[in-house]
Structure 1
Amino acid sequence: MLLPFVLIALCAGVALAVQAAINSQLAHSLIGQPAVAALVSFATGTLLLLLICWWKTDLFTALQQVPKQPFWKLIGGPLGALVVFTTIFLAPKMGVTNMLFFIIVGQLIAALVIDHFGLLGMTQRPVQLWQIIGFIVIGIGLTLFFFGKTLFGK
């Protein structure tokens, strides 16, 4: 893997944690309405993406291809909206760290299955023994991080 891609992924992880905290505070300011905060978050994000696409892409030609796509290729947006809503809803109840613990576990399990079987049009990348060991080590680390105080006290 190239270092720039790893850095971009790490920044996305930072952004997810920061976004959850910011959007939770936005929901609090919007009379405790996480769905409204998610809507505002997506609306402002949509405006930014519209400007970027207008400036850097052939937006209108690309948009003409949207009706030709199978339904399953269009559910990424609604899934993203549900993730944003979920983070806004859960972060104040669980804390950002605890919430992201379970999100990361879910992401890793889903990613492992998608890669191994080449689902959703992705390149098949069969799971190897070292990846399973790494997955277990990550799981142990996350478990210690999340449950260490309960398991070992103090």
Structure 2
Amino acid sequence: MKIAWLFVVFLCGALLPLQGGLNAKLAKSIGSPIYASMICFIVGALAMGLYVPFTKETFSWQLLKGSYITAVLGGGVIGAVFITGSMLALPRLGMALTFGLVIAGQVIISVLLDHFSILVAAQHPINIWRGLGMLLIIAGVAIVEKF
């Protein structure tokens, strides 16, 4: 079962550069990265709207009260920043450097979230191996940028 999830997550990661490239192409063709971001979110919302009825998921709008609203707004804003930021960076930095930096940022912040057990992360203290992993990712991005 874990192998299947590893593949799913790998596939999700593999799709990010494709999404970024398609988004950047859309931004160039319509002349606006801001409107391209908005279109991406509208299409994504429509896709989820078509998918949800085929699931067994239940939902109550009452859940959006209180502390949950922070998660809803925060996740949406972070998504918009990511889509727009990567769309603006791609033509300037290229795919490899843009997504190398995305991966480096994800790993470094994830290690910190694990260390401090923030959000839903189980606590995994930073150790020499995790520190070395972060340094290797940073070195990899530096090599990609250099060559």
* Band of TM-score, shorter chain: 0.7 to 0.9
Match of 1:66 in 2: 64
Tell me whether 1:8 sits opposite 2:4 in the alignment.
no
2:97–2:141 contact (8 Å) kept in structure 1: no
CA distance in 2, matches of 1:12, 1:121: 20
Tell me whether 1:138 sits opposite 2:137 in the alignment.
yes
By how many angstroms is 1:56 displaced?
A: 0.8
Match of 1:79 in 2: 78
SS at match of 2:65: helix
By how many angstroms is 1:106 displaced?
A: 1.4
Within a 5 Å distance, the mapping from 1:1-154 to structure 2 comes to: 2-30=2-30, 32-59=31-58, 61-74=59-72, 75-147=74-146, 149=147
Residue ranges of structure 2 left out of the alignment (5+ in a row)? none
Residue ranges of structure 1 left out of the alignment (5+ in a row)? 150-154
CA RMSD across the alignment:
1.9
2:101–2:141 contact (8 Å) kept in structure 1: no
SS at match of 1:119: coil
CA distance in 2, matches of 1:134, 1:82: 26
TM-score by length of 2: 0.88
Matched residues, number: 146
CA distance in 1, matches of 2:82, 2:55: 27
By how many angstroms is 1:58 displaced?
A: 4.0
CA distance in 1, matches of 2:7, 2:100: 20
By how many angstroms is 1:85 displaced?
A: 0.8
String of CA shifts for 1:36-78, please: whole Å, max 9, x gaps: 001111101001111222221444x333311243443121011
Match of 1:152 in 2: none
CA distance in 2, matches of 1:83, 1:144: 23
CA distance in 2, matches of 1:20, 1:102: 13
CA distance in 2, matches of 1:80, 1:101: 18
By how many angstroms is 1:5 displaced?
A: 1.9
TM-score by length of 1: 0.84
CA distance in 2, matches of 1:57, 1:67: 23
CA distance in 2, matches of 1:14, 1:106: 16
By how many angstroms is 1:104 displaced?
A: 1.7
What letter matches 2:115 in structure 1?
Answer: H
